[in-house]
């Protein structure tokens, strides 16, 4: 059983205490990283490229660095699901005919449908960092759900984004504007094996990347 709380210090931390399995008094701490750290890592270690060191808001869905995260932009290449060929969606044997390719400043996702896209930004994740990515509130309030799995330690690449239109109406997605926020969590212990060590199948991916086995 796990309990959570906030630890002391200048950075907000989550302390996870194990009541079973790790022995009495054992703790692990992961701190969420601030805009100062994100900016330094982007400038000195190319963690995010291209990097925007402020929140761009005027007339757009916001993007850029925020207090404790980074709002990424969606690119202008989309793969929108279609049933024209009546293919079966099989993650072990994916048929690229399941999608229609679109390159545009605005992508229209049909009702109750789905699209893949990728971020404008290329990420290089440090070995002691794990990220969590959450969809923008502006899209969520319109019934548009963004899903991105965590970026593992030492993973790098463009982020493939899954966008679901849960409404009965067509939905617009605006290219080169904000789509999701990335939060960076730093462990107090470096992992034994990183994504790079495991030679992960999505390492250094570029653009929209389909499922691989």
> Of 28, 49, 162, 177, which is the active-site residue?
162
- Ramachandran area for residue 101 (φ above 0: left; ψ -120 to 50: alpha; else beta): beta
Angstrom distances, CA of residue 79 to CA of 66, 91, 134, 166, 210: 29, 16, 20, 17, 9
Rg (CA), the chain: 19
Q: What angle do CA 144, 211, 125 make, to 5 degrees?
A: 80
CA dist., res. 144 & res. 161, Å (int): 12
CA 170, CA 163: separation in Å to the nearest integer? Answer: 13
Are residues 68 and 183 in contact, defined by beta-carbon separation less than 8 angstroms? yes
Active site residue 162: yes
* Residues 41, 191: Cα–Cα separation, whole Å: 19
Which residues are catalytic, by number?
A: 162
């Amino acid at each position: 059983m796990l309990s959570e709380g906030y630890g002391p210090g200048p950075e907000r931390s989550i302390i996870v205490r194990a009541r079973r399995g790790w022995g009495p008094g054992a703790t692990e701490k992961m701190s969420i990283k601030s805009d100062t750290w994100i900016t330094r890592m982007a400038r000195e270690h190319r963690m995010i490229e291209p990097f925007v060191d402020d929140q761009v808001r005027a007339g757009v869905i916001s993007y850029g660095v925020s207090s404790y995260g980074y709002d990424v932009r969606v690119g202008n290449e989309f793969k929108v699901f279609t049933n024209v060929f009546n293919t079966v969606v099989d993650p072990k044997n994916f048929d690229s005919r399941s999608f229609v390719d679109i390159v545009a400043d605005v992508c229209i996702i049909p009702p109750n449908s789905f699209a893949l896209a990728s971020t404008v930004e290329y990420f290089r994740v440090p070995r002691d960092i794990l990220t969590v990515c959450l969809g923008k509130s502006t899209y969520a309030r319109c019934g548009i759900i963004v899903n991105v799995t965590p970026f593992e330690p030492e993973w790098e690449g463009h982020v493939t984004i899954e966008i679901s239109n849960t409404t009965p109406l067509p939905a617009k997605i605006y290219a080169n504007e904000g789509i999701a926020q990335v939060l960076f969590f730093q462990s107090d212990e470096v992992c034994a094996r990183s994504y790079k060590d495991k030679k992960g199948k999505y390492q250094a991916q570029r653009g929209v990347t389909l499922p691989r086995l």
